[in-house]
Amino acid sequence: MGSKSVPSIALFLSLNVLLFSMVSCNTPAPAKCPDMKICKSAFAPPFKPDPNCCPLLGGLTDNDAAVCICSFVNLTFGSTIYQDILVNALLRACARKETTNHCKFE
Place 12 in a pLDDT band, splitting at 50, 70 and 90. low
Amino acid at 75: L
Give this prediction's pTM: 0.63
Structural domain boundaries in the chain: 37-93
Please state whether 93 falls in left (phi above 0), alpha (psi between -120 and 50) or beta.
alpha
Q: What is the pLDDT of residues 40-95, one digit of tens each?
A: 888 777 777 788 888 998 888 888 888 888 888 888 887 777 788 888 888 888 88
pLDDT tops 70 at residue 105: no
SS (H, E, C) 22-77: HHHCCCCCCCCCCCCHHHHHHHCCCCCCCCCCHHHHCCCCHHHHHHHHHHHHHHHH
Q: What is the pLDDT of residue 16?
A: 56
Q: How confident is the model at residue 29 (pLDDT cuts 50, 70, 90)?
A: very low
Side-chain-side CA neighbours of residue 39 (13 Å): 26
